[in-house]
A and B are shown apart, each in its own frame.
Chain A
Amino acid sequence: MKFETPAGTNPIDQRRVIGKPTPRIDGPLKVTGTAPYAFERNDVAPGHAYGVIVGSAVAKGRIARIDTADAERAPGVIAIVTRENAGKLGKAKAHTATMLAGPMVEHYDQAVAIVVAETFEQARDAAKRVRVDYARAKGRYNLAAAKAGAPIAPGDKMKTAVGDFARAFAAAPVTVDATYTTPDQSHTMMEPHATIAAWDGDTVTLWTSNQMIAWAVRDMSETLLIPKEKIRVVSPYIGGGFGGKLWVRSDAVMAALAARAAKRPVKVALARQQVMNNTTHRPATIQRIRLGADKTGKITAIAHQTWSGDLPGGGPETAANQTQLLYAGANRLTETRLAVLDLPEANAMRAPGEAPGMMALEVAMDELAEKLGMDPVRLRVINDTQVDPEKPERPFSDRNLVRCLEEGAQRFGWSRRNPTPGTVRDGRWLVGMGMAAAFRNNMNMKSGARVGVDRKGVVTVATDMTDIGTGSYTIIAQTAAEMMGVPLDKVIVLLGDSRFPASAGSGGQWGGNSSTAGVYAACVDLRRRIAQKLGFDPDRATFADGKVSDGGRSVDLAKAAGDEGISGEDTIEFGRLNDDYAQATFGAHFVEAGVDAHTGEIRVRRMAGVYDAGRILNPVSARSQVIGGMSMGIGAALMEDAVVDPRFGYFVNHDLAEYHVPVHLDVPHQEVVFLDTLDDKTSPMKAKGVGELGLCGAAAAVANAVYNACGVRIRDYPLTLDKVLKGMARV
């Protein structure tokens, strides 16, 4: 099915199942510990051995020699694979660094070997006995130092300009010119990357933890240099991803090589410490923002320049994304520059671009509001735009930012905020309120599914879509139930297997809308086949209450399926609507923070928001996605910081005791309100992504609340108490 014109009325609009608050259908498995994650598939890998990956101890250089003699003699060791005996390997185009180093080392903790043994304890012990001599080379690890001379990054919209920014900025009566920095961040999903690999002749099966099944097959094919048909990837349960499992990592590649060498299935899980340096991370940014406004607060000049670093051949953090679309203003400039750094591979983490970009832009807006003596909500309202400000002939498909701002302000009690910082006290706490807009692009991706009905009237959906905690199982079941006119408990959803039709996968908050649109398309095909089989008019036939009806005739769906059952399959493909219209999701974050007047400790006391993301398919899981994003915003604002050792070029705080993410006590009760909107330009579902929106702007709202509480403006994330105290001495 091609989606090329705005959606008209369709069966999804009945909202018998879609849009209803629905507990997750995978819930009972997850709360009983019976949902099997990758490393737990002992059922499919009898006689498996354990693999432990040895990572490089240097960040850049060459492996001079690898001495495996001691490791080979260690108890229980079955095989050791290094670049010397791995056979010919390719590098997947999607990978910046190779998954197995040798002879060159590209980053710290890059895999240099895998040791396979009978037990995990034996493999871990033997891995420590592998000795590697390196010829260490000088690396570049400091973004601030590499910033000068960093070129414009390759790719679209890395440099955009409209009007005459320099002139308008110079002429503006009120201006902000500030530089913000965001640190390297780690996805830190709870399940470390894990894979079981098993070969059957020249075919390999990987039970793994991966967000994008079709990409995984492609990248394994390009790495192992075997045809895609010889690779099966299975990933039905995933313990979180946040972008860190978009591409296969060393666990999958090394498990496949290890299983081939050991001639047995091999299980590999990265140790928690390996997740941060062996896999990818969100790169640090330096962002300069200049805003110029007239005295009424109308923005006349807006510029956002951003720098990040990656390995040679890598990509930038596109932190200027939202600045191209969020606010009006006739004179505009954005630049995204990319330096070369020899840190582990930088890549997508939840809301790449907007997540760190909004951390800067939305604080700059707060600074502008203060200079104007204007309420920060009002400043955003008067600079709203209904068209792409770089391309005014391109309207937004549906944009309700102003409603989010005004409704959020009203619900939160924003009118009680004292705009003068440091004036509200609650015991030892200085208390402040802050807000920020939320903005994240909406992307749509081609997505396929197969749907069948059996003789009992049970509907089964199969697609290689993944559920990384996003609620895919449930919204897909709701979609099929709505389309086929059956209750939710008559739907079975099978996900995450490369034998199923290729889907959009989970990334860039495109999964929910795109994958359900793919299921919609498959259901339309199935409905047509059933109607034809019954001699009904496919355009008129209705599917409700387990029956297919047309005019006066009505047949049980089970009977229509017959003994042999009946199935349909299709793929939704998206046309030009995403080019002709700017598609995005919007919201407004509100935060009340307390700052300890003596210690500088920051506590988030209240957090709420109003969000606009088209049709909300399941308010239960959509809310959870948003509060997860808001909480990740608290982490980004207050604690998350992957610290680079500038001598050795690695992230020092590479575990959960040192890389701090929010815990229960850091997160207050959160209020989430969704606007009841529909976007007919996005898909037949009229939905948009919601998985990343909650993160975008949340950290800035916290930072703005901290400023309002204590009068310290911190432009270098995270806002740790040493920075607060240093500022408080001046206030």
Chain B
Amino acid sequence: MNDKPAFTLSRRGALVGGAAAAAAGAVPIDAGAAPAQPAPPAVPVRFTVNGKARALELDPRVTLLDALREHLELTGSKKGCDHGQCGACTVMVEGKRINSCLTLAVMHDGDDITTIEGLGRPGDLHPMQAAFVKHDGFQCGYCTPGQIMSSIAVLEEIKDGVPSYVTADVAGKPALTGEELRERMSGNICRCAAYSNIIAAIADVAGAKDVA
């Protein structure tokens, strides 16, 4: 069992095989052995979420996403990767979409934030939410709040003339095409792959008939 590794262990091996210390503790932990370290001081932060002023005292490591989900119990914004790779946590900050997992809550003092809960409720849906239901633009529903936040932002970005990777003439006005929508939505992964239906929903809201 104590086979020698095939080659010298790298830094990663050294890290995992670190120095020995005291024996494993009992559970729950007995505070008697060594004094616990103090928690880092909380940082006050104030921002507006869905039109409501919120004040929090947060561990500076708390992401904006976790502030919303764990501290304000606005769980509509989802954690799919916590690394800005999937888009499920997309929210609007100061009118622009961002991955809320990639930014710390304390960086947003004074900001105006909109989450999926700020759009509409069952029985009183935002047009984009209604279009997602109509076109079945989701399946498991986990990426859906992020897809909807991005969908709304994408139409704004096209309207504002913001170019994308597929815009042929970056100095001109981007057209509302299927390719533009798909490229701009590509930061929002849907593993159920309702993509074809999501594009139909966005096109419907935008009043674009021949987008395919």
Interface of A with B (CB < 8 Å)? 23-24, 26-37, 39-40, 42, 57-58, 61-62, 65-70, 72-82, 84-85, 119-122, 125, 131-138, 187-192, 237-242, 261-263, 269, 271-272, 468-471, 620-621, 623-625, 627-628, 630-632, 647, 655-657, 661-665, 667-670
Greatest chain A CB density within 10 A among B38, B122, B138, B141 is at: B141
Chain A: CB-nearest residue to B80: A190
Chain A: CB-nearest residue to B22: A69
When distances are taken between beta carbons in the complex, the residues of chain A under 8 Å from B57 are none
Whole-angstrom distance between the alpha carbons of A663 and B188 in the complex? 7
Q: Name the contact of B193 in the complex, choosing from A81, A133, A632 (C-beta under 8 A).
A: A632
Whole-angstrom distance between the alpha carbons of A632 and B139 in the complex? 14
Q: Name the contact of B121 in the complex, choosing from A34, A77, A192, A662 (C-beta under 8 A).
A: A34
When distances are taken between beta carbons in the complex, the residues of chain B under 8 Å from A27 are 132-133, 136, 138
Give 28 A-B contacts (CB < 8 Å), ordered by A residue: A28-B129, A30-B138, A32-B116, A33-B145, A34-B76, A40-B75, A73-B35, A77-B29, A80-B25, A80-B29, A85-B27, A121-B59, A134-B16, A135-B1, A189-B140, A190-B140, A192-B80, A240-B140, A261-B27, A269-B79, A272-B80, A627-B196, A628-B192, A632-B193, A662-B195, A664-B183, A664-B188, A665-B182
* B115 near A33: Cβ-Cβ < 8 Å: yes
**Does B6 touch A at the CB level, under 8 Å?**
yes
* B24 near A85: Cβ-Cβ < 8 Å: yes
Q: Kindly provide the distance from the CB of B160 to the nearest chain A CB, expressed in whole angstroms.
A: 20
* B138 near A33: Cβ-Cβ < 8 Å: no
When distances are taken between beta carbons in the complex, the residues of chain B under 8 Å from A32 are 76, 116-117, 119-122, 125, 129, 145
* A670 near B144: Cβ-Cβ < 8 Å: no
Interface of B with A (CB < 8 Å)? 1-3, 5-7, 12-13, 15-29, 33-40, 59, 61-62, 66, 69-70, 73-83, 85-86, 88, 115-117, 119-123, 125, 129-130, 132-134, 136, 138-145, 148, 166, 178-179, 181-183, 185-199, 212
Whole-angstrom distance between the alpha carbons of A621 and B141 in the complex? 13
Chain B: CB-nearest residue to A35: B141
List the 3 closest A-B pairs by CB distance, nearest first: A33-B76, A239-B142, A469-B140
Whole-angstrom distance between the alpha carbons of A656 and B185 in the complex? 16
When distances are taken between beta carbons in the complex, the residues of chain A under 8 Å from B19 are 131
In the complex where A34-B122, A664-B183 touch, is A242 in contact with B191 (Cβ < 8 A)?
yes
In the complex where A31-B132, A669-B212 touch, is A69 in contact with B21 (Cβ < 8 A)?
yes
Chain B: CB-nearest residue to A670: B196
* A75 near B1: Cβ-Cβ < 8 Å: no
Q: Kindly provide the distance from the CB of B32 to the nearest chain A CB, expressed in whole angstroms.
A: 11
Q: Name the contact of A33 in the complex, choosing from B6, B15, B75, B83 (C-beta under 8 A).
A: B75
Q: Name the contact of B2 in the complex, choosing from A135, A191, A263 (C-beta under 8 A).
A: A135
Whole-angstrom distance between the alpha carbons of A65 and B122 in the complex? 53
When distances are taken between beta carbons in the complex, the residues of chain B under 8 Å from A661 are 189, 191
In the complex where A32-B119, A79-B29 touch, is A667 in contact with B195 (Cβ < 8 A)?
yes
Whole-angstrom distance between the alpha carbons of A134 and B17 in the complex? 7
* B133 near A28: Cβ-Cβ < 8 Å: yes
Q: Name the contact of A68 in the complex, choosing from B25, B74, B197 (C-beta under 8 A).
A: B25
Whole-angstrom distance between the alpha carbons of A470 and B125 in the complex? 23
Whole-angstrom distance between the alpha carbons of A238 and B78 in the complex? 12
Q: Name the contact of A272 in the complex, choosing from B27, B62, B85, B117 (C-beta under 8 A).
A: B85
* B82 near A66: Cβ-Cβ < 8 Å: no
Chain A: CB-nearest residue to B79: A269
In the complex where A82-B24, A131-B19, A624-B139 touch, is A42 in contact with B73 (Cβ < 8 A)?
yes
When distances are taken between beta carbons in the complex, the residues of chain A under 8 Å from B6 are 138, 647
Chain B: CB-nearest residue to A139: B3
Q: Kindly provide the distance from the CB of A41 to the nearest chain B CB, expressed in whole angstroms.
A: 9
Chain A: CB-nearest residue to B121: A32
* A625 near B139: Cβ-Cβ < 8 Å: yes
When distances are taken between beta carbons in the complex, the residues of chain B under 8 Å from A624 are 136, 139, 192, 194, 197
Q: Kindly provide the distance from the CB of B14 to the nearest chain A CB, expressed in whole angstroms.
A: 11
Q: Kindly provide the distance from the CB of A70 to the nearest chain B CB, expressed in whole angstroms.
A: 7
Q: Kindly provide the distance from the CB of A195 to the nearest chain B CB, expressed in whole angstroms.
A: 14
Q: Name the contact of B34 in the complex, choosing from A34, A73, A656, A669 (C-beta under 8 A).
A: A73
Q: Name the contact of B141 in the complex, choosing from A26, A133, A625, A627 (C-beta under 8 A).
A: A26
Whole-angstrom distance between the alpha carbons of A509 and B170 in the complex? 46
Whole-angstrom distance between the alpha carbons of A24 and B77 in the complex? 21
Whole-angstrom distance between the alpha carbons of A67 and B36 in the complex? 16
